[in-house]
Amino acid sequence: MQIILPLLIISSSLLCHKSVNCANPASTSTHPTDTLNKHSIFTILKLYRCYFLATGLFHAPTHLALTPEFTALLTTIIVAGLTRLLAFRQLGRSFTFRLTTPSHLVTTGLCRYVRHPSYTAVFVQTLTAIYTWCRTDGVPIIIAFRISDEEGLLQGAFRSQWEDYCARTRMLVPLLL
């Protein structure tokens, strides 16, 4: 029974680490409105990956216990990580960490419900991790800049198709936002 807590912590940490790694190669051409690339955010993402691993793998477990609340928090981190990985898979080659114009507009799978499913997942994952480990960082702000850049790029690339898609889906949270 004592092995469950370390396994949950390690699982959530590894999923967080995996969910901030892009499977697709970075594009050599950078879109001019790519705010994240302009401000060297990718170096911050590398530090963020290390943060997730170090926090989860080396956090002092002396004050941690397998309470219902802690289990729910770790489960939320794990589910959000899996959701982000599913979004990566469903977006296929259209998903990169650099802002590039995709070959087609993805409106199926998780994108049927929200326009930015990977950001919704990482936002939930990050807020839950911050609450769990009592850490703060700027990831929600970074995500807001990136969403703005992507919305502008997709609007320019797909025009009426994008507008129709926006009219029937929410940006981040189904039925709300």
Q: How many residues does the chain have?
A: 177
| 61 inside domain | no
- Give the number of C-alpha atoms closer than 13 A to the C-alpha of residue 85, restricted to the C-beta side: 13
Residue 80 lies in a domain: yes
Q: What is the pLDDT of residues 12-67, one digit of tens each?
A: 777 776 776 666 665 555 566 666 555 444 555 555 556 555 555 555 444 456 77
pLDDT for res 60 = 42
Per-residue burial over 51-70, b = 16 or more CB atoms within 10 Å of its CB, e = otherwise: bbeebbeeeeeeeeeeeeee
Separation of alpha carbons 176 and 49, rounded Å: 29
Q: Which residue has the higher pLDDT, 156 or 61?
A: 156
The region of weakest confidence among 43-52, 102-111, 145-154, 156-165 is 43-52
Answer yes or no: is pLDDT of 83 > 90: yes
- 154 in any annotated domain: yes
pLDDT of residue 157 exceeding 50, the answer is: yes
pTM: 0.65
Separation of first and last alpha carbons in the chain: 40
pLDDT digits (tens, 9 = 90+) for 98-131: 778 888 999 999 999 999 998 899 889 888 877 7
Residue-wise DSSP of 61-88: GGG----HHHHHHHHHHHHHHHHHHHHH
Q: Is residue 25 a part of any domain in this protein?
A: no
* Residue matched to tokens 């002396």: 62
Domain enclosing residue 113, as ranges: 9-19+31-56+66-168
Q: Identify which of 20-34, 85-99, 149-163 has the greatest average pLDDT.
A: 149-163
pLDDT of amino acid 62: 45
DSSP summary character for residue 28: S
In which band, very low, low, confident or very high, does the pLDDT at 136 lie, cut at 50, 70 and 90?
Answer: very low
Q: Is residue 3 part of a domain?
A: no
Q: Is the pLDDT of residue 87 over 70?
A: yes
Task: Judge whether 47 lies within some domain.
Answer: yes
**Does a structural domain hold residue 26?**
no
Overall number of domains in the chain: 1
Write down the pLDDT at residue 68. 81
> Is residue 174 situated within a structural domain?
no
